[in-house]
Amino acid sequence: MTNVTLDIHKFPCLNDNYGYLVHEAWSGQTAAIDTPDAEKYLSEADRMGWTISHILNTHWHPDHAGGNLRIKEHTGCTIYGPAGEAGKIPGIDVALSEGDTVELGRATAQILDVPGHTIGHIAYHLPEQATAFVGDAVFALGCGRVFEGTMDMMWNSLSKLKSLPPETLLYCAHEYTQANARFAVTVDPDNAALTDYARWIDERRAEGLPTVPTRLDKELATNPFLRADDPALQAAMGHAGDAVATFAEIRTRKDRF
């Protein structure tokens, strides 16, 4: 089924997380993308007049799956999550791996395995809506810390996300963009698109406005973590011709920043 329109309701929760409720009007189904704060999700769903039917977890961290059981108890929803972390996902009903799909009414999410931040991290790509829910795999001007995987694994995951259509909207899980921008300009100071983006971010945050979602094409031009295959950035990082080493250098610098 084509031309399915989804209503995506975004709201802040916890310290710097975003909550997302995705509503498919034909079926009346609503997916919670991760569950950092069960009560906030339930109250926001109630405010919108929606009932949560799905939980779509990207990875096991408590600020992504910690509200699962409370929401499931309240709504009877079905919990979907990464097969590689099924033992850590509270209340999981359906374990997902790359190539699987999840139906939300007439909309279909395709599963991408994007390990690195955690070993089983997945993303939900809805190609007909040019939308991807990417959890902590990638952020506006950033990417997740490599906690469980390897630098090579993380770069491969980012490369997979880089190959999505450039108009794809990336719904990441945190408002980290301003801090990411401050770092990004230290490794890519001559990137005019990045300089302009950083200025826009400062203006948005000064007004208390969100900087996500972000479009992939904007990130491809400005996000240093996605640009580790750029020869100029490789040379600047001292790893000409080596995207993985360049990515590792940028990630290590950010960890110390």
Query: How far, in Å, CA of 139 to CA of 137, rounded?
Result: 7
> What is the four-CA torsion angle of 229, 195, 171, 148, rounded to 10 degrees?
50
Say which of 54, 136, 188, 239 is annotated catalytic. Answer: 136
Tokens standing for 238?
């001292």
Say which of 61, 121, 125, 239 is annotated catalytic. Answer: 61
Positions of E strands within the chain: 6-13, 17-24, 29-33, 52-56, 78-82, 94-96, 101-104, 107-113, 122-126, 131-135, 138-139, 142-143, 169-172, 214-215
| Amino acid type, 187 | V
Active-site residue flag, 121: no
Say which of 23, 54, 125, 174 is annotated catalytic. Answer: 174
Say which of 23, 64, 125, 239 is annotated catalytic. Answer: 64
Active-site residue flag, 174: yes
Say which of 23, 37, 54, 63 is annotated catalytic. Answer: 63
Active-site residue flag, 117: yes
Say which of 34, 37, 54, 117 is annotated catalytic. Answer: 117
Say which of 54, 59, 121, 125 is annotated catalytic. Answer: 59
Active-site residue flag, 59: yes
Radius of gyration of the chain, Cα coordinates, nearest whole angstrom = 18
Instruction: List helix spans (H) across 76-191.
Output: 151-162, 177-187
Query: How far, in Å, CA of 30 to CA of 181, rounded?
Result: 33
Active-site residue flag, 9: no
Assess contact for 183 and 254: CB atoms under 8 A.
yes
The residues that are catalytic are 59, 61, 63-64, 117, 136, 174
